[in-house]
């Protein structure tokens, strides 16, 4: 075996901790082919290739074992694809020679194959290229690993999966694997998602399918389990006796520019709430898993989702920002919400009566994603001199990752008065010099390692669609209409009223 073939194993051993042991991540070696389908597209350019580059830079992908294939219908040469990617990875005018060389070395790993998504010819050609790469790396000594990343519209997932199955599976007798990574949106409602799951499920086993939700790759989302279950502090407090309400919020300060066509078909609930925010809700609400094994964690997430009660219409506020319909790709009478606040209620012993308020919006006044856990008032308040603030535990997922606790302290000075203050763990200050990895980087590495902990299981997806499908159908049928709001605002005022009705108190 060539030196360097052990790179991923070596790196994995850095995770010589309970995570690695409990996941039984046996590191694998051997020739690795990463195939990005839809390589000409937006996601590939903005997220997939940059994530692969970062993994390469950090030594997780070694040139003597890895090759990257781009596949799409567009007819371009290897060099054209490399130039496009280069433009995204580096500014040639300001880059140092070292950076430029590093990018050039990475780009040499990339080859492009053009073909359609529903005919064998292109996939046979792709298979030939992958096999040549495997032979050139002498992979028979080990095993060959094939990772197919579908950076494609979901409409072509079934035919692409069929083609992969027919033409491109790993052929090594000595082990190895074939895995596929699929992007959201995975379906449009319960029926379409189940149909898609069934079509892909006929071709691949669940352990081969990685349904990506990039929020699960964010540092502070991954921190949720640690915070909740590694701190004695929270154990007795994390329940309906102490917590008044939970907010999970996503705001963007830009609209749907450039993606209006896609967005109008899906809307903010399918784009953000049904997946990203609901996944966060699972981690906030779930019971402690038996272990950190992916199946144990996902079992608990499914239970939370299955305990969510049907959404009540009067606990929903929808909005659409003024100007959204000016986009030429958006129909003039579009009913698609670009903003939604939805209250979910979990019917179990821990959470009965605690509203989980999920809020997401485009073209708002700021860009932020956070979890706000608000505690109940202190009973028998003796500090009447000033209205007592509530305790609030806030996890800011982005930007500027931070965890802070709002609490009441004595106002410093001679008077006995109270003031709201914070215990603040801002990552920028506390972990200076530490680079927080991009979500996609982490998740792609997980797919190579075979760790499905941060990916959505089929039953989880089904339970998530079950929660939102009735509401989505009402919106699709025009039975519920979005309220207008000004771009750059907080969204419709009715959303703040709903928040107050749900019990949230501004601290």
Selected from 28, 127, 129, 183, the binder of ligand NDP by CB under 6 A is 183
Task: Tell me whether residue 42 or residue 141 sits nearer to ligand NDP (CB atom).
Answer: 42
Stretch that binds ligand NDP, among 41-49, 90-98, 172-180, 453-461 (CB under 6 A): 41-49
Give, in order, the Cα–Cα distances in Å from 214 to each of 47, 287, 455. 10, 22, 9
The reply on whether position 441 binds ligand NDP by CB under 6 A is no
Q: CB of 293 within 8 A of CB of 22? A: yes
Which H or E run includes 305? helix 294-306
Q: Least distance in Å: CB of 211 to ligand BG6? A: 13
Answer for which of 43, 95, 292, 480 binds ligand NDP (CB under 6 A) is 43
Is 41 a binding residue for ligand NDP by CB under 6 A? The answer is yes
Q: Strand 392-398: give its sheet, edge to edge.
A: 418-426, 402-410, 392-398, 368-375, 243-251, 355-361, 339-345, 316-321, 483-485
The Cβ-side half-sphere exposure at 130, using a 13 Å CA radius, reads 29
Residue 40 interacts with ligand NDP (CB under 6 A)? Answer: yes
Interface ranges with ligand BG6 (CB under 6 A): 214, 252, 271, 369
- Length of the chain counted residue by residue: 507
Active-site residue, selected from the candidate residues 67, 276, 296, 454: 276
Q: Which is nearer to ligand BG6, 255 or 355 (CB)?
A: 255
Closest listed residue to residue 354, CA positions, set 504, 505, 506, 507:
504
CA 174 vs CA 29, 140, 177: distances in Å: 12, 7, 10
269 lines the binding site for ligand NDP (CB under 6 A): no
Site for ligand NDP in 187-206 (CB under 6 A): none
Name the segment binding ligand NDP (CB under 6 A); options: 70-78, 123-131, 245-253, 291-299. Answer: 70-78
Q: Which residues of 478-499 are buried (b: 16+ CB within 10 A; e: fewer)?
A: eebebeebebebbbbeebeebb
Decide whether 252 or 446 has the Cβ nearer to ligand BG6: 252
Q: Which residue in this structure is represented by tokens 């535990």?
A: 393
Whichever of 201 and 487 has its CB closer to ligand BG6, that residue is 487
Q: What contacts 424, CB < 8 A, 6 or more positions away?
A: 402, 404
- The binder of 369, among ligand BG6, ligand NDP, none, by C-beta within 5 to 8 A per type, is ligand BG6
Q: Which is nearer to ligand NDP, 16 or 155 (CB)?
A: 155
Active site residue 276: yes
Q: Which does 43 bind (CB under 5 to 8 A by kind): ligand BG6, ligand NDP, none?
A: ligand NDP
CA–CA dist 424, 464 (Å, integer): 33
Interaction of residue 480 with ligand NDP, rule CB under 6 A = no
Residues in touch with ligand NDP (CB under 6 A)? 38, 40-44, 46, 72-74, 117, 151-156, 183-185
């Amino acid at each position: 075996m060539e030196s360097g073939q052990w790179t991923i194993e070596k790196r994995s051993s850095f995770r010589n901790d309970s995570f690695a042991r409990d996941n039984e991540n046996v590191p694998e070696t051997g020739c690795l082919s990463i195939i990005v389908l839809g390589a000409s597209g937006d996601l590939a350019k903005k997220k997939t290739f940059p994530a692969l580059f970062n993994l390469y830079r950090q030594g997780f992908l070694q040139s003597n074992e890895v090759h990257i294939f781009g596949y799409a219908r567009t007819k371009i040469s290897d060099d054209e694809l490399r130039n496009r990617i280069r433009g995204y990875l580096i500014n040639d005018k300001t880059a140092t020679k070292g950076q430029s060389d590093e990018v050039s070395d990475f780009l040499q790993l990339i080859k492009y194959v053009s073909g359609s998504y529903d005919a064998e010819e292109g996939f046979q050609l792709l298979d030939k290229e992958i096999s040549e790469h495997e032979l050139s790396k002498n992979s028979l000594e080990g095993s060959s690993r094939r990772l197919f990343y579908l950076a494609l519209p979901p409409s072509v997932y079934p035919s692409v999966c069929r083609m992969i199955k027919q033409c491109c599976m790993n052929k090594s007798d000595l082990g190895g694997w074939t895995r596929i990574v699929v992007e959201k949106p995975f379906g449009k409602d319960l029926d379409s998602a189940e149909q898609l799951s069934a079509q892909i499920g006929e071709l691949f086993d669940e352990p081969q399918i990685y349904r990506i939700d990039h929020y699960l790759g964010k540092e502070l989302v991954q921190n949720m389990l640690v915070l909740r279950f590694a701190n004695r502090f929270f154990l007795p407090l994390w329940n309906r006796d102490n917590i008044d309400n939970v907010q999970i919020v996503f705001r963007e300060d830009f609209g749907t520019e450039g993606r209006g066509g896609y967005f109008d078909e899906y809307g903010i609930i399918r784009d953000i709430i049904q997946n990203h925010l609901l996944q966060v809700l699972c981690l906030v609400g779930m019971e402690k898993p038996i272990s950190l094994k992916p199946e144990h964690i996902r079992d608990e997430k499914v239970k939370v989702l299955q305990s969510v009660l049907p959404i009540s219409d009067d606990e929903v506020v929808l909005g659409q920002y003024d100007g959204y319909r000016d986009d030429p790709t958006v129909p003039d009478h579009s009913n698609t919400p670009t903003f939604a606040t939805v209250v979910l209620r979990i019917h179990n012993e821990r959470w009965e009566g605690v509203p989980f308020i999920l809020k997401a919006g485009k073209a708002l006044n700021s860009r932020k994603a956070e979890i706000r856990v608000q505690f109940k008032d202190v009973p028998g308040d003796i500090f009447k001199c000033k209205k007592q603030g509530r305790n609030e535990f806030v996890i800011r997922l982005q930007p500027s990752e931070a965890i802070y606790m709002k609490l009441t302290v004595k106002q410093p000075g001679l008077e006995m008065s109270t003031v709201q203050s914070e215990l603040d763990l801002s990552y920028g200050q506390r972990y200076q010099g530490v680079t927080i990895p991009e979500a996609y980087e982490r998740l792609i590495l997980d797919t190579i390692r075979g760790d499905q902990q941060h990916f959505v299981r089929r039953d989880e997806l089904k339970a998530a669609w079950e929660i939102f499908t009735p509401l989505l159908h009402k919106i699709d049928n025009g039975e519920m209409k979005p309220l207008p709001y000004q771009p750059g605002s907080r969204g419709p005022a009715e959303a703040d009223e709903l928040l107050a009705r749900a019990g949230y108190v501004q601290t």
